A and B are shown apart, each in its own frame.
Chain A
Amino acid sequence: MSFFDKFPAMERTDLRDLKKGIDSSFKEFSRSWGEGIEAFFDPLFYFLVNFEKLLLATPWPIIIAIVAALSYLGSRSWKLSAGAAVSFLVIGYLGMWNNTMSTVALISVATFICIALGIPIGIAMSKSDRLQAIITPILDIMQTIPIFVYLLPVVMLLGIGKVPGLIAVCVYAMPPIVRLTNLGLRLVDKEILEAADAFGSNYRQRLFRVQLPLALPNIFAGVNQTIMMALAMVVIASMIGVKGLGVPVLQSIQNQYLALGLMNGLAIVALAIIFDRVSQQYGKRLQRHREGGNDV
């Protein structure tokens, strides 16, 4: 009866050896390959560092003007544009300017990477059911695995700093854009695609003239989600040495600085709202053709 009382688990020593084996082989791997992998990510590092330096070196009135202009270009709304400018003024007045610039740099670069990788992956997925079956569980893992679990190997490989932080943010923020690109392309009306084929479109013409434009609202929802999730990672990224608004939040948790945490936390919220509203308005404008007056 002891079979039912006690779970037939692995011998404790075997289990310990297994774990040890995995640990030591990964350590071995990171010792021999760590530098190479670090070198591989160097361009990313320089890109991020230089972008951050550029933002910090630019005089603040110019940054605010750019923020207001970009908000207006995206949303075509003076209110939103003015709101963004005021938020940045308040953030700067409360002494969070440099941290905010660092965070904006990180989010921008992370979003850029997610789009550059995520959209092609999404396109490939929409073409092949098998690829979709392979990638979907990977995306599930990326979104649900506790962040610290993959932070550890990344830190072991690359050490503490901006690049591992960036990778952590991208791992977490990329799934929505991949999923929604795939979904958007698959949802394009079959009859419209048949029409495209009937007129002799080749693969590129079909993709760029018909499928992508029609999937754009979904793809854009993916971009929006990616930005939001990247912002949500700012505090955790600060734990592995990424500068920005996350650092003071982390300090406030450790030292019970209520006001410090609140202010920096609200600054993150302000950034999120600005990014979200502007990108949503822009996405809506892309769909102006849907506002038919005359429904058939």
Chain B
Amino acid sequence: MSDYKIEIKNLYKIFGPDDKNMVELVANGLGKQELLDQHQHVLGLRDVNIGISASSINVIMGLSGSGKSTLIRHINRLIEPTVGEIIVNGENVLAMDQDKIRDFRRFGASMVFQNFGLMPHRTVLENAMYGLNIQGVVSSEGEKRAQHWLDRVGLSGFEDRFPAQLSGGMQQRVGLARALATDADILLMDEAFSALDPLIRADMQAILLDLQDELHKTIVFITHDLDEALRIGDDIAILRDGELIQKGTPQKIVLKPANDYVADFTKDVNRARVLTLDTLSHEVGSKKGLPLESNLPIEDAMQKMVESKFDLITVMKDNKSIGQVSLDDMVAAISRPKPTDSGSTTNYR
């Protein structure tokens, strides 16, 4: 078994009647547009390989049309791939028969949807219970468990309302409670917060991070919003036109973009919030600085530095000094990198 909870290997998805025969053409380098023009097939995903570690939030991000929603639906096989493998807990999802895939969806992986996917004829409590109903949990027990999760997402008192009576943010809390109630250890979130307004979205991100601190689920989170990806992701994968372009920690994505596309993506990011002290830390003399934890974002470090009388930070990890960071270092790190002169950045916006 590999180290990954979910492993996607050589996944291709081509939409069209003759998809199997198109794989070779695409593997040999036929582009998305040429495939459409010459063969009337639509390229969904091209040779995607991603390993997803357990108990972490894995963000898959890309603009619309990049194939991110297609990709997440392969994990619980709402979409059948053209070729490829998806290994979850050492088992190939694509080799499962109907009964097994149904069991996997019931107990192994639950899902949260962009437009909530709530059932308008069921009350909030009944919606949160849906997965449990399908699992065959007796209703008294199911009600108790659904109620527990509704309380956790802050919806106590709304059990008997219908979804249409709630605001968007509250509806998505119901969606989250429904997904958590099944106790599946994989949570698939397809642009779960994209339909919400910014303040509510930040709220929901905070709720998710809070819950994750305690639950340690394997979360696959799809988004088109880089700030969201950087805020909640332990790991970020960037897709473009069905291809995986870069995968790494938020810091790596910001500091070492793999190409112009990613660089352009990250250029408006609030770098002071993403970068932490350890990424800047370097060995310098023995001058004493303000001791701060290594995982502190630069934004907060600067604030602390201004409040104190120090002009240097000693970066601490496990109560040991691992290096120093000066104010100049921090200013240099957050200043926007020189724009790449390849120029044409607008063509994929």
Contacts and interface: CB of A to CB of B under 8 A. Distances in A.
B117 interface: yes
Contacts of B134: 199-201, 205
Nearest to A197: B78
A289 B76 CA distance: 30
B259 to A, nearest CB: 34
A9 interface: no
Nearest to A205: B134
Given A191-B117, A209-B133, A214-B119, A198 B110 contact: yes
B297 interface: no
A294 interface: yes
Given A199-B105, A209-B133, A292-B165, A191 B115 contact: yes
Given A199-B105, A200-B134, A192 B118 contact: yes
Contacts of B118: 192, 195
Contact of A296 (B76, B103, B111, B167): B167
A294 B188 CA distance: 28
A288 B121 CA distance: 8
Contacts of A213: 119, 121
Contact of A289 (B106, B120, B178): B120
A293 B162 CA distance: 10
Given A198-B105, A199-B130, A296-B171, A289 B162 contact: yes
A198 B78 contact: yes
Contacts of B121: 213-214, 216, 289
Nearest to A195: B117
B164 interface: yes
Q: How large is the interface on B (under 10, 10 to 19, 20 to 34, 35 or more residues)?
A: 20 to 34
A198 B111 contact: yes
A291 to B, nearest CB: 8
Given A194-B113, A210-B119, A199 B131 contact: yes
Nearest to B120: A289
A192 B117 contact: yes
B78 A194 contact: yes
Contact of A214 (B78, B120, B130, B182): B120
Interface in A261-296: 288-296
A215 B104 CA distance: 28
A205 B136 CA distance: 11
Contacts of A292: 162-165
B167 A294 contact: yes
Contacts of B120: 192, 214, 289-290
5 contacts: A198-B113, A199-B111, A200-B134, A209-B130, A294-B164
Interface of B: 76, 78, 102-107, 110-111, 113, 115, 117-122, 130-131, 133-135, 162-168, 171, 178, 182, 188
Given A200-B103, A213-B119, 15 more contacts: A198-B105, A198-B110, A198-B111, A199-B130, A199-B182, A200-B104, A200-B134, A209-B133, A216-B121, A289-B121, A289-B122, A292-B162, A294-B165, A294-B167, A296-B164
